[in-house]
Amino acid sequence: MTWISDEAIVRLRALEDRPDFSATRYELLEPLGRGGMGIVFRGRDRELDREVAIKVAAWSTAADADRLRAEARTLAALEHPGIVPIHDAGRLPDGRVFAVMMLVRGERLDVCARRLPFRDRLRLFDRVCDTVSFAHSRGVIHRDLKPANVMVGPFGQVFVLDWGLATSGSDPDFAGSTPKPGSDPTPSLIHGAAVVGTEGYMAPEQSTRNFNHRSDIYALGAMLRDLTSDLDMRSRLLRPLGSVIGRAMAVDPIDRYQSAGDLAADVRRFLDGLAVAAHHETPTERIARFGRTYRTPIALVLAYLTMRVLLVVWGR
């Protein structure tokens, strides 16, 4: 048996962590993060003199290369302000595949949200839903939505990241947020794929390798749950929002929102002081909500009536 020295292991590790880009137009700078599929570096495009993010497959196995290529093709097909654009893709001399993307600066959603009022958090969440809704309209399911995979830029940009586990829906009715007339309202589940996702955000059906776009809606509900974890959902004011989370995270996919757009619309209704579709209001709650929503005009009318009464009394 031949033993490899610690020094040799360190050198091999350095070669893996620091791929050779000398034959490309890109210069590697420091690593930004490591995942199961590869390493992300901050880099520089020598031709255009700009900083970029460079993702390199973990090693030259066919599975790693195929997954990174699939992610690059997914990003190339999803042109949306909430999805990081891809600039280039290629293969290094050692066989590893790489992808070059826009360098995203900012904070993770869960970090940024800690210092924001809850209404501002909901507005950021609305933009996440918009991005996911766009992906669903193109037949793409993310499968690993969580606050750590959302970045908020310094000027309010919101990006949904890490599409490496994304897959496409197989049902023709999946492409739109509303099923075609006469079609089954429940799109066919996708079978046979590997179990992927993050515990706490992964829909129950994903553990049995059955999923569709409503699995992403469950994850969005879990994100909304985390963004409001410091609030008392039992209060009369926030009870409707708790119902939104409950519907998004329903165990049965059929009981969830039918689309990410429907979920976002209910959150917007809550922000606007309107009735939330997921929540059945009691008469007391309806009156209280009406009073909160229209308190300014109600106060003006009451002030006007009070002045009229005082003038009448004074005149007498």
Catalytically active residues are 144
Judged on CB neighbours under 10 Å (0-12, 13-18, 19+), 240 is buried
Judged on CB neighbours under 10 Å (0-12, 13-18, 19+), 32 is middle
What are the CA-CA distances from residue 144 to residues 105, 116, 149, 195, 219 (Å)?
A: 21, 24, 8, 11, 8
Residues 6+ apart with CB under 8 A from 39: 17, 31, 33, 55, 56, 58
The span from the CA of 223 to the CA of 125, in Å, is: 8
Residue from 59, 62, 66 nearest 89 by CA = 66
